Structure 1
């Protein structure tokens, strides 16, 4: 039995994709320790891993929606978490490390303890010097020059304190290990054919949960289903939910609206009869019955949607979501709308187009075949074991 250590940032969009892989590794006999914040203990333990907590400087800001540009918070977060975990991991003596690219402390621990390391990317891989990501980072740096300058200084100082080679934002997010697992199919990755053998595009890491709770699926009977969700972080947008009421209330659509826990549905005003409004829903089971998905464009949500052959309307909220939205539109998998300018009419027109024009669904079904062929969590776990065996 070998020992694996998983490191991640306390964001559901980053953690969720790793849990099916952890479960598979444990089922195959590995001993896995997952280092996360207390909020994730139940999910980690259900996946069969040993849980070890750390305290985060960004978690409360995430709940309040006040963290700003998240990568700029990572130098301080890394300093804080590394101080808690370095000696713990040294004592645990894992055989290998798996870490999220935003989780700089995972990379640093692997370097400091000379442990074989694997990156696990819940979204697209990054070529830091060219392409969409480079353009996105240049736009962010131009918008927040002092923030980027300060954070890059902090990154360089942190690495210097531990005697490690300096890095910056691009180096942090684009760093490649000998094995890099990417949770999108190669066909969705911009420039997918340019990534070498170190990158394994396993597609979405989805394991059926088998528990839909008390969700009233009968609500979906009698008409096409429209599912609307802005994810788990930046979803405190009551005006948008009222826009959805105006756009789709009283129509043939059977609408499922997930608001997140920051919004009180009672304060949204009268809820149309064809709407079901809940803080959260069993997303996989709802997508299985959905015709169009209005989403923030998080990688997990997009990949889950495409796994079920559902086209999308993307309204990106943060981070890499504008890049995902651009790729969706580029591949004809759906349409993208601008959060700052979206209107009731645009919502109606976009959903109608995606529902009625067969090209969208045809292209999603083509990608769906690539998703299924990529291997998902089973291929990811297999690759980790192969990597561990090669490291000897």
Structure 2
């Protein structure tokens, strides 16, 4: 039995995809320790891993911001909390999220073989890649934050005696094994990535969180699911636009608002709407005709797993890149957050629902997603990697 450690940032979009992988590793006899914040302890322990806590600056008010620019400061905060505990564990391998710079640093400091677990598309460092263009635009838009982050990064690497890297290198770094949670067909330039990259697609496994959700609400008409994810969802004006666009129509609507918005503040809720802070997403998608989403990679892949076309309204981070890819592949439509209107929202959902081309292309993507192997393929690749090492 080998021992592995998993490092992650305290964000559901980064953690959820890892839990089936952890459970499968444990089922195959691996001993896994998972370093996260207290909010995720129940999920980690249900997956069968040994939980280790750390305190994160990302959970403090305003802590997330432009996430890559937060990583040097976050790493300076987290490293002293966990480094000696990992050293004492003497793990055989390290898995870490690409936004978890301190995980990469620990692997270097302790000389442990490392694996990146990417919840979204792989990042190519080529100057003509879509990622490179997107990164340049973000570093221009948030120039002050990235300038300070670069200084913090240089000081941090010097302090720990590690080779210097810049912010671009931090974000596009690849390890000897990189597990990518999208199918190769969704990855821009997928055929250009070498054998270090294994495109395993999403890790789909029941989460056991359906509870008493009233699935009967989705019966009697086409089902529309609307969710902006778990982070940047404090947008009451958009939820009212949804009421105006789909209230009183044949759509049976499930609207997940997140916990930052009180449904009572949104005004009268149409009879064909079910509004909740959170919903069992996998089970809802299984019954859904169209998904209006922020375009997070997990949500997109789960939607495609069930053959559901999407309308994407990106909110943050890499979501504009995901939205661009959705449009290119014809598996849905992309709207701009700043320009979305009631009429545009209604027309986009109706178009995606009624034009056969969207359904046909999303069925093709569904086949790609399901053929990628998910958490089982990820664990196969990891154990093969460990055996070679």
In the aligned structure 2, how far is the partner of 1:60 from the partner of 1:214?
32
- Structure 1 residue 144 displacement after superposition: 2.1
Equivalent residue, structure 2, for 1:281: 279
CA distance in 2, matches of 1:66, 1:224: 39
Shift in Å, 1:382: 1.2
Name the CA shift for 1:314/1:128 in 2 (closer, same or farther; >3 Å).
same
Q: Which moved more, 1:298-307 or 1:135-144?
A: 135-144
1:265 to 255, 263, 266: 263
- Which residue is equivalent to 2:23? 23
**Superposed counterparts of 1:45-124, under 5 Å:** 45-61=45-61, 67-124=64-121
Any residues of structure 2 matched to 1:296-335 within 5 Å, and which? 296-335=294-333
1:168 deviates by 2.0
Q: How far is the alpha carbon of 1:68 from its aligned partner?
A: 2.1
Q: Which residue of 1 aligns with 2:42?
A: 42
Residue by residue over 1:271-328, the C-alpha shift from the partner in whole angstroms, topping out at 9 and shown as x without a partner, is: 0000000000000000000000000000000000000000000000000000000000
**CA drift at 1:160:** 1.2
Structure 1: distance between partners of 2:219 and 2:279: 17
Whole-Å Cα distance in 1 between the matches of residues 349 and 26 of structure 2? 42
SS at match of 2:20: helix
Matches within 5 A, 1:176-215: 176-215=174-213
Whole-Å separation in 2 of the counterparts to 1:368 and 1:206:
12
For residues 56-108 of structure 1, the C-alpha deviation after alignment (integer angstroms, 9 at most, x for no partner) is 011123xxx66321111111001110111111100011110000011000000
- The separation in 2 between residues aligned to 1:59 and 1:129, in whole angstroms, is 33
SS of 2:57's partner is coil
The 3-state SS of whatever aligns with 1:346 is helix
1:341 correspondence with 2:339: yes
TM-score, normalised by the number of residues in structure 2 = 0.98
TM-score normalized with structure 1 length: 0.98
Unpaired runs of at least 5, structure 2: none
- Could you say what the CA RMSD is over the residues aligned between the two structures, in angstroms? 0.9
- Deviating beyond 3 angstroms after TM superposition, the runs of 4 or more aligned structure 1 residues are none
Q: Counterparts of 1:264 and 1:169 in 2: how far apart (Å)?
A: 38
Residue pair 2:57, 2:63 contacting (<8 A) in 1 also: no
Structure 1 position 212, deviation (Å): 1.4
Q: Report the counterpart of residue 126 of structure 1 in structure 2.
A: 123
Report the more deviating stretch, 296-305 or 377-386.
377-386
User: Partners of 1:277 and 1:97 in 2: how far apart?
Assistant: 40
1-structure distance, mates of 2:147, 2:212: 49
Q: How many residues align?
A: 388
State how far apart, in whole Å, the 1-side matches of 2:212 and 2:60 are: 29
Give the Cα separation in 2 of the matches to 1:66 and 1:151.
14
Give the deviation of 1:146 after TM superposition: 2.0
Q: Deviation at 1:211?
A: 4.5
CA distance in 2, matches of 1:324, 1:211: 27
Equivalent in the alignment of 2:226: 228
SS in 2 for 1:340: helix
Within 1, Cα distance between the matches of 2:10 and 2:63? Answer: 15
Contact in 1 for aligned 2:295/2:319 (Cα 8 Å): yes
Instruction: Answer yes or no: is the 8 Å Cα contact 2:202–2:375 preserved in 1.
Output: yes
2 CA distance for matches of 1:211 and 1:237?
A: 25
Cα deviations by residue, 1:25-76 (Å, 9 ceiling, x for unpaired) = 0011110000000000000000000000000011123xxx663211111110
Matches of 2:10 and 2:214 in 1, distance apart?
30
For 1:270 and 1:19, the matched residues in 2 are separated by: 38
Q: Does the CA-based 8 Å contact 2:291-2:308 persist in structure 1?
A: yes
CA distance in 2, matches of 1:47, 1:68: 29
Alignment of 1:130-145 (within 5 A): 130=127, 131-145=129-143
